[in-house]
Amino acid sequence: MNEIILNDTKEQAEAIIRLAGEARQKIWIMSHALEPELYDQPEFISLCKDLLIRHSQCHIRILIQNNENLRKMDHRLLTLMNRLPSSCELKICHQDYRNHPETFMLTDSNGLFLKRAPGRSKAYLYMDNRLINDEYGRLFQNIWDQSDYDITLRQLSI
């Protein structure tokens, strides 16, 4: 198993950028509130935009557990979502998963960024580990299927 331990926010942000740069079809994010220090970086947003305009089959799906702070901030990923609504979608997690401790970003079938508990500084990066990618892909899809679109965030002005 190819596991890299990421001990601080800088390493985690770099890992997310690395995964986004290697994505060819999809990025799936499950987050408490799209933490800006990870998901609102100009380089990350640029890579996401490049992915989405590359091909009509490319997409980004985002599950958030808490949307309160997002309503108040000018998050670049939300701006991208509003500009490319058919390729970048966001849902608020189903009630059963709002307190799920793990957050993660999954790309294609070869990359996973994982934080096992909120507030912890340590995270993990898994590369080319199909078994763990499939496991988190199934978890994400299960939650996605049970969750609802957050219309309030779709209506933010650009």
Q: Give residue 157's pLDDT.
A: 44
CATH number of the domain at 119, please.
Answer: 3.30.870.10
Tens digit of each residue's pLDDT (9 = 90 or more) over 52-111: 998 889 999 999 998 877 777 778 888 888 888 889 999 999 999 998 999 999 999 889
For residue 45, is pLDDT > 70?
Answer: yes
> Does residue 158 register a pLDDT over 50?
no
Please report which confidence band the pLDDT of residue 154 belongs to, taking 50, 70 and 90 as the band edges: low
Percent of the chain, pLDDT > 70? 93
The pLDDT, as a whole number, for residue 132 is 94
Is the pLDDT at 51 greater than 90? The verdict is yes
Q: Which residue has the tokens 């994505």?
A: 23
The predicted model scores a pTM of 0.91
What's the CA gap between 122 and 133, in Å, rounded? 19
d(CA 90, CA 150): 7
Q: What is the DSSP string of 88-148?
A: EEEEEPPGGGTT-S-EEEEETTTEEEEESSTT-S-EEEEES-HHHHHHHHHHHHHHHHH-E
| DSSP code at position 149 | E
At residue 156, the pLDDT reads 43
- Tokens read off for 121: 């500084």
Q: Report how many domains make up the chain.
A: 1
Q: What is the pLDDT of residue 152?
A: 72
What pLDDT does residue 86 have? 83
Residue 125, pLDDT > 90, answer yes
State which residues form the domain around 110: 3-154
What's the mean pLDDT when you consider all of the chain?
89
